[in-house]
Amino acid sequence: MDLLLQQLLIGLTNGMVFALIALGYTMVYGILELINFAHGDLFMLAAFFALTLIGLIDPGAMGGPMLVVSLLGVVLLTAAFAGGLNWSVDRLVYRRLRNAPKLAPLVSAIGVSFIFQNVGLFWGGLPMDVMGGGTAAAAPKAFPNLIPDTNLFGDGGLRFTVKDLVVVISSLVVMGALFVLVRHTKLGKAMRATAQNPTAARLMGIDVDRVIGATFLIGGGLAGVAAVIYGLYINTISFQSGYQNGLYAFTAAVLGGIGSIPGAVVGGLVIGVVRSISDQFIGAEWQQAVLFSMLILILVFKPTGLLGSSAREKV
């Protein structure tokens, strides 16, 4: 029983990170019906940006409150970087393809993904100590272990560390803030109206392009927060980490019902738990087979995902 509970704790903690990344996918799809395949690699670039900041300010040399303040600064700056980059991509690429066939922005998103991967590869070759001196650009980079691994259960059978608690609390705070923004602000109402019917929203005086830009900005910011949390939790990043984690997050968004914000959170938690239990009881080599088999079965019986809702298409 302790082993099962341990895997549940690990899965829920990892699932929080997947949920944060999945929210970026589902927000953009909910408004534009665009699968932004570059989102995972945006997360990767944000992780490299956070590592660069940490290398410059060296928060590990600080103690107590200064360490907390410096990490909060890294989170905010990384969120601003990722949000600004995501907004810029929409402004320069996707916005020009609003009225193009749906295949055009999809292929463009794949192209942006490859560009981001190569930027990450170049970034990993910078001559900085945190990048390994730039001698091996493609090698994984060590993220400093700045949060203690003290077990909150003491010497008991279960292990839930301070680091795990920070991941859970910070993820819940960000998700709660997003819920309040979407449900109780003027921008959130405009986002929901645009997602429901962009043409009607425009006729009602809503600046649809501004709302879409804000959606990319917020989605990128969520990826930036997730990147810092992931780096501090896993302590390793690479230029390919966006592909794998982006794939898990996209799967979570589809599983929960792409376009549904609560669905993205539920899907992320489910993916995290199933992944953890599969690694322990079936084998890590079967992880992807188990995850995608589960996804296929759920979509066969409920094509809209766990919390997605079907909508009639007007012709």
In the chain, the amino acid numbered 36 is: N
* Phi, then psi, of 160 in degrees rounded to 5: -140, 105
Identify the pLDDT of residue 294: 85
DSSP annotation string for 249-307: HHHHHHHH-TT-HHHHHHHHHHHHHHHHHHHHHT-GGGHHHHHHHHHHHHHHH-TT-SS
How many whole angstroms separate alpha carbon 105 and alpha carbon 98? 8
**Distance, CA of 231 to chain centre:** 12
Return the residue matching tokens 């680091």.
Answer: 163
Q: What is the DSSP letter of 29?
A: H
Work out the pLDDT band at 311, boundaries 50, 70, 90. low
For the chain, the structural domain boundaries read: 2-171+213-301
78-137 tens-digit pLDDT: 999 999 999 999 999 999 898 888 889 889 999 999 999 999 999 999 988 889 888 888
Model pTM? 0.91
How many whole angstroms separate alpha carbon 47 and alpha carbon 41? 10
How many whole angstroms separate alpha carbon 87 and alpha carbon 213? 6
Identify the pLDDT of residue 314: 39
SS3 237: strand
Identify the pLDDT of residue 313: 44
What sign results for the dihedral spanned by CA atoms 146, 167, 48, 279?
Answer: positive
Count of positions (residues) in the chain: 315
What sign results for the dihedral spanned by CA atoms 277, 282, 283, 286?
Answer: negative
Instruction: Assign residue 312 a region (left: φ > 0; alpha: ψ between -120 and 50; beta: otherwise).
Output: beta
| Region 197-203 average pLDDT | 90
Return the residue matching tokens 């509970």.
Answer: 5
Is the predicted pLDDT of residue 199 greater than 50, yes or no?
yes
> Which of the two residues, 308 and 46, has the higher pLDDT score?
46
9-60 tens-digit pLDDT: 999 999 999 999 999 899 998 888 888 999 999 999 999 999 999 999 888 7
The proportion of the chain whose per-residue pLDDT surpasses 90, expressed as a percent, equals 52
What sign results for the dihedral spanned by CA atoms 305, 213, 237, 152?
Answer: negative
